[in-house]
């Protein structure tokens, strides 16, 4: 396994050929990009979500090219503040083409899951995301090991089968 830079990761997010799948398992994250916007939401302030537009444009390009982008979120209920905020801003992302689904953690108890969140690109490259206890991203590590790929693929598909589409999920 090898660490990759943020720039390399950004390239992977835009240059895959067929499919990107992403499994999130944490109740809170602390990305530098998101935290100021979540703080606005917490304070009841308006956010025009302009900061999401580059990602939405990328998603529209993926859809136009026939590429699939799926994300599944395993969440505790009632939702953490982070996940409630995340749900509240997902509509433009879903509208741009990312299929986001939610699964209550209690429904995932019998699913074998990797120890870290991940992206799987085109079924042959896994990027494991490492976080601190407080949710700050600290590393992105790649793997092409067939065992890792199969574990991530099977975990994602098992979660996906039980997950609720974003437009149908009502946060508790």
* Percent of the chain scoring above 70 in pLDDT: 100
Terminal alpha carbon distance of the chain = 38
pLDDT > 90? residue 145: yes
| 143 neighbors 12 (Cβ within 8 angstroms) | no
pLDDT digits (tens, 9 = 90+) for 98-144: 999 999 999 999 999 999 999 999 999 999 999 998 888 999 999 99
pTM over 0.75: yes
Evaluate whether 51 touches 45 at the Cβ level (below 8 Å).
Answer: no
What are the pLDDT digits (tens) for 60-99?
999 999 999 999 999 999 999 999 999 999 999 999 999 9
Q: From CA 91, how far away is CA 167, in angstroms rounded?
A: 8
The number of residues in the chain equals 172
Nearest CA to 101 out of 154, 160, 157, 144 is that of 160
Q: Model confidence at 33, in pLDDT bands (50, 70, 90)?
A: confident
Superfamily of domain 2-35+68-168: Endonuclease Chain A (3.30.870.10)
């Amino acid at each position: 396994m090898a660490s990759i830079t943020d720039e390399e990761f950004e390239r992977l997010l835009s240059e895959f050929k067929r499919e990107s799948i992403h499994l999130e398992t944490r109740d809170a994250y602390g990305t530098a990009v998101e935290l100021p916007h979540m703080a606005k939401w917490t304070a009841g302030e308006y956010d025009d979500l302009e900061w999401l537009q580059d990602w939405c444009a990328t998603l529209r390009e993926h859809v136009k090219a026939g590429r699939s982008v799926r994300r599944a979120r395993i969440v505790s209920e009632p939702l953490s503040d982070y996940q409630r905020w995340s749900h509240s801003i997902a509509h433009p992302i879903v509208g741009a083409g990312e299929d986001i689904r939610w699964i209550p953690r209690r429904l995932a108890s019998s699913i074998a899951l990797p120890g870290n969140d991940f992206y799987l690109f085109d079924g042959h490259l896994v990027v494991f995301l490492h976080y601190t206890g407080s949710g700050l991203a600290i590393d992105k590590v790649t793997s092409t090991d067939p065992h890792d790929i199969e574990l991530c693929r099977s975990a994602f598909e098992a979660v996906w089968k039980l997950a609720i589409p974003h437009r149908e999920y009502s946060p508790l």
